[in-house]
Amino acid sequence: MSREQFSLHGKVALVVGASTALGQAAAIALAEAGTDVAVATTLPTLLETEAVNACAHTIRTLQRQGFAKAIDTTSESEVAALVQQTVSELGRLDILVNALDLPFAKPLPEVSLAEWQRVLAVNLTGVYLTCRAASAPMLAQQAGRIINIVSVLGERGMANGSAYCAAQAGVLNLTRALSLEWARNGVTVNAIGAGWTDGMGMIANEQIKQQLARYIPNKRLAQPHEISDAVVYLASDATGFITGQVIWIEGGVLSRL
């Protein structure tokens, strides 16, 4: 019984930022749960392009349909084209997952206006663009799930993290505002607050990783699948009464002083 409640067979998902550890895990978990999945980069670098191509290959080995697209998510036209291609190739769009992530940390006096704007553009404006583009098919069918993956740094501050923290917090409250705007249209908008996860861009080196593991009550970092399991839950039909919420999956780190 429980398997059927969480099953996503017949649905179509779009995962943007599928080159990140979390985006890739989300795309694969959605495919395992039965969706066809389109995956896209955050930025069209060679590294990201190879990562999303590999991700689309895995999706097809799971007997699901899918394609990869290298796009710049700060480009209005490229995001619009991505959503159009998803609908035309996979038939519809039910689930949008934003895993956009441009890690950045620097003391504020050294943060140039160009850097600030870049961090906001990728981490926050990109989410606005994908939500706006995906809203057209979702509002037309009066059904949809938007899931924004944010960091614990959207809820708590970190020295040298000002621009990134501001952008992540922006995504959280964008999530709340959009949830109300589309509340009567069958489109839910929620966030998953990811704790420190293996493979995250903000974790600069092994030493920081070990320090974090000691600090986190669960005494370890999350594995990407532990975040993507919640993506599958939020994408399911069982969550129609959940909107404007953040589900924090962070090993207890927000519970401690």
**Contacts to other proteins by CB under 8 A:** 1-3, 5-7, 29, 32-33, 175-177, 179-181, 183-184, 188, 193, 195, 217-219, 222-223, 225-230, 232-233, 236, 238-245, 247-252, 254-256
Whichever of 24 and 49 has its CB closer to other proteins, that residue is 24
In whole angstroms, how close is the CB of 81 to other proteins at the nearest point?
Answer: 23
**Strand (E) or helix (H) holding 84:** helix 76-90
Question: Which residues are catalytic, by number?
Answer: 164
Whichever of 154 and 244 has its CB closer to other proteins, that residue is 244
In whole angstroms, how close is the CB of 253 to other proteins at the nearest point?
Answer: 9
Question: Are residues 212 and 203 in contact, defined by beta-carbon separation less than 8 angstroms?
Answer: yes
> For 196, phi and psi rounded to 5 degrees?
-65, 120
Neighbours of 73 (CB within 10 A): 26
Q: Is 46 exposed, middle or buried (0-12, 13-18, 19+ CB in 10 A)?
A: exposed
Whichever of 159 and 256 has its CB closer to other proteins, that residue is 256
Whichever of 108 and 238 has its CB closer to other proteins, that residue is 238
Q: How far is CA 133 from the centre of its chain?
A: 15
Neighbours of 118 (CB within 10 A): 15
Give the residue among 63, 5, 61 at the shortest CA–CA distance from 34: 63
Whichever of 85 and 239 has its CB closer to other proteins, that residue is 239
The three-class DSSP label of residue 69 is: strand
Give the residue among 198, 209, 196, 210 at the shortest CA–CA distance from 153: 196
Identify the DSSP state of 121: I
Neighbours of 141 (CB within 10 A): 14
In whole angstroms, how close is the CB of 227 to other proteins at the nearest point?
Answer: 8
In whole angstroms, how close is the CB of 16 to other proteins at the nearest point?
Answer: 20
Question: Which two tokens mark 78?
Answer: 């490229």
In whole angstroms, how close is the CB of 120 to other proteins at the nearest point?
Answer: 15
